Structure 1
């Protein structure tokens, strides 16, 4: 089978669009805190509130975005969201009040929580069940390609011109993608399974709350995300404390993380297709925990590099598999709703830095060991998931 015929053309288009839009986003968003500090003269508290509001809003918004996608169709939600999202980036480029940045980043989180379940559900609609593991692995690769390219372009553009230009350019790229998708999505007949009767949103929420398998998935994913969030929060701080010129090492580790994902994502994906989703995720959790333990013991470049490689292998096993598991849990008529509800796992990304910051302040030497144990505790929830089938 040719690689190009592995998926429906629309799936390839969405995967390509994922690279395009993520490059646009990565040109601007990693530098939002710096922009707020240098251009708006925001305080650390104001910057923290602005950055933290997006994952918090997306946690709740995912459920509503998923429900509306199943209720009114993928196409409508995708097109409306991408247009609003472009306006958000134009807002970042033009406003000067901190409270407006808080508002726009809340909208940014809301748009992501609508866009992610709708595009993933659309790809699921056009992909046979036996190919979905490969699909989510390729999607994860696409995101990491963008993570390498986007920040480099963003730095280059901001050095040549105003620091607000990357935000403006991102908005323009999103508008271009919206126009492109308008014509593409109208070309193909949507294949979304229709429910016999539309379930009201409160009834849907009640159904999700009583789904033990879904709740187990979410609680386990929160613990995993508590561990992963240390990569962006406590890891750079502890490296700065332990290593001379720690910023240089941390930059190297970020690049290494992306490089390992791009290098190993496909071979690990092919191997993991032979095993169940639960088994694959458990392997990822073990690598995650081992990587975190090693971060705690590291005190030189070599140990940090080894720890990052192990940590990243855990990421490769775990994150695409989590999407596959939601697909396996969800009924055909509620794929987007379940994908949206799974966004509650982002609570781990919100509370993880708080837990890590407290441990770093009071129990620095034991911090990564405690976080690793929390991540290992997620295995309990996924062992229970394997017994429900």
Structure 2
């Protein structure tokens, strides 16, 4: 009981609400979204190419709109956009079951992708606004655990209730989003959380935002490293399933076991492993996670039976547990307070790897074989270490440069080393 009270006191009530919302949203959406292709095929009688267009455009829109949502939240405010994104998700899931027109289904898919990207970026930024810097890594770990908990329980609950993937699941998901949006409005007002906006008198200018982002070299290195890691993670489920189906006896059943193992490992090891890793630096956690990713991919390449693939998946998942919260915390560390949404949104560009991984992994699998594909992905994971290391080095040089400037100019006002104006430094220039 004391531990529960201590945990509740560690974070703002809105942070707890957003973590709970993460569970709720992932739980309900996992009853419907994974079955969207089947639903559109059987109920709406659409062709595979039309279904691919609908789902693909929504995912692509979400990949690049996280940055837009983050920028807007810095200048307009997080609270309003957070509610709007939830209402957008509500409309999208209700729209999937209300029409059979291809154009409208594409629009609803894009609305879902954009709204989900907005909610993910803005909720992380708001949670960071309300959480002390020393507790953010654990907060990100808890949020990651909450999402996995919902995705693990959702399909099971849907199957037990007999609603997994059917019309009721989509309607239920829509009303859950609506109810959560209304409750969040009440909580935001009752807790007195004010809108967080950038302290800027000028209007939103794309040129200004682009100048800020492209001038922050550490951020660019972290994004490139993130794209590489997401490429490795993104190809895992898509190309791995194809490889197992064609080359391993009962490969489809093995893939199901591996996906279950992935979820169970996250649920069991996420919190203890994250707390244990806090004794090490963020860079050390990232390097360890990348190495574990590479070891898992090498294991896939050399495995010939069930046991080899299962052990490799366990190792791969341990890397996932270390990497994802550390990646969020790493970008948070270099983020100017007044541009947190913008920087978190820029980090979401790493989701482009979810397109690159399945596509390029499929190319390698078609032209060569599974061994080449897995070994290539292992090398990509190791390559990402360079970008994270280089980003940390450039960040430390920037911090030291600012400190030396302040020492040599004692009459100038003291600045926050972490947050130089607009994240721009003269020594790094523009890329």
Shorter-chain TM range is over 0.9
In structure 1, the partner of 2:318 is 313
Cα distance change on mapping 1:174 and 1:160 into 2, 3 Å: closer
- Post-superposition offset of 1:161: 8.9
In structure 1, the partner of 2:423 is none
Q: What CA distance in whole angstroms lies between the structure 2 residues aligned with 1:141 and 1:233?
A: 22
Report which stretch shifted further, 191-200 or 370-379.
Answer: 191-200
In structure 2, the partner of 1:244 is 249
5+ residue gaps, structure 2, are 397-431
Q: What CA distance in whole angstroms lies between the structure 2 residues aligned with 1:198 and 1:116?
A: 26
In structure 2, the partner of 1:184 is 187
Q: What CA distance in whole angstroms lies between the structure 2 residues aligned with 1:149 and 1:18?
A: 13
Of the three residues 5, 11, 14, the one matched with 2:18 is: 14
In structure 2, the partner of 1:128 is 132
- Post-superposition offset of 1:4: 2.0
Structure number with larger C-alpha Rg:
2
Please tell me whether residue 336 in structure 1 is matched to residue 346 in structure 2.
Answer: no
Report which stretch shifted further, 143-152 or 30-39.
Answer: 30-39
Q: Show the 5 A alignment for 1:121-160.
A: 121-157=125-161, 159=162
Q: What CA distance in whole angstroms lies between the structure 2 residues aligned with 1:67 and 1:85?
A: 20
- Post-superposition offset of 1:247: 1.8
In structure 1, the partner of 2:418 is none
In structure 2, the partner of 1:227 is 232
Equivalent residues, number: 388
Asked if structure 1 preserves the Cα contact closer than 8 Å seen for 2:138 and 2:275, the reply is yes
CA displacement 1:242-269 (0-9 Å, x = unmatched): 2222221111111110110011111111
1:60 counterpart SS class: helix
Asked if structure 2 preserves the Cα contact closer than 8 Å seen for 1:55 and 1:346, the reply is no
Asked if structure 2 preserves the Cα contact closer than 8 Å seen for 1:54 and 1:109, the reply is yes
- Post-superposition offset of 1:321: 1.1
In structure 2, the partner of 1:166 is 169
2:193 counterpart SS class: coil
Q: What CA distance in whole angstroms lies between the structure 2 residues aligned with 1:167 and 1:155?
A: 14
In structure 1, the partner of 2:417 is none
Cα distance change on mapping 1:67 and 1:246 into 2, 3 Å: same
In structure 2, the partner of 1:210 is 215
The normalised TM-score by structure 1 is: 0.96
Q: What CA distance in whole angstroms lies between the structure 1 residues aligned with 2:86 and 2:236?
A: 29
The normalised TM-score by structure 2 is: 0.87
Asked if structure 2 preserves the Cα contact closer than 8 Å seen for 1:219 and 1:345, the reply is yes
Cα distance change on mapping 1:295 and 1:98 into 2, 3 Å: farther
Asked if structure 2 preserves the Cα contact closer than 8 Å seen for 1:55 and 1:349, the reply is no
In structure 2, the partner of 1:200 is 204
Of the three residues 111, 118, 121, the one matched with 2:115 is: 111
Q: What CA distance in whole angstroms lies between the structure 2 residues aligned with 1:200 and 1:177?
A: 30
Of the three residues 42, 50, 53, the one matched with 1:49 is: 53
In structure 2, the partner of 1:376 is 382
Alignment RMSD, CA only?
A: 1.7
- Post-superposition offset of 1:5: 1.5
Q: What CA distance in whole angstroms lies between the structure 2 residues aligned with 1:150 and 1:201?
A: 41
5+ residue gaps, structure 1, are none
Cα distance change on mapping 1:36 and 1:270 into 2, 3 Å: same
Of the three residues 367, 371, 374, the one matched with 2:373 is: 367
Report which stretch shifted further, 341-350 or 185-194.
Answer: 185-194
Q: What CA distance in whole angstroms lies between the structure 2 residues aligned with 1:224 and 1:161?
A: 31
Asked if structure 2 preserves the Cα contact closer than 8 Å seen for 1:83 and 1:175, the reply is yes
In structure 2, the partner of 1:4 is 8
1:232 counterpart SS class: helix
Of the three residues 47, 66, 70, the one matched with 1:66 is: 70
Please tell me whether residue 275 in structure 1 is matched to residue 274 in structure 2.
Answer: no
- Post-superposition offset of 1:154: 3.0
- Post-superposition offset of 1:84: 1.6
In structure 1, the partner of 2:297 is 292
In structure 1, the partner of 2:94 is 90
- Post-superposition offset of 1:356: 0.6
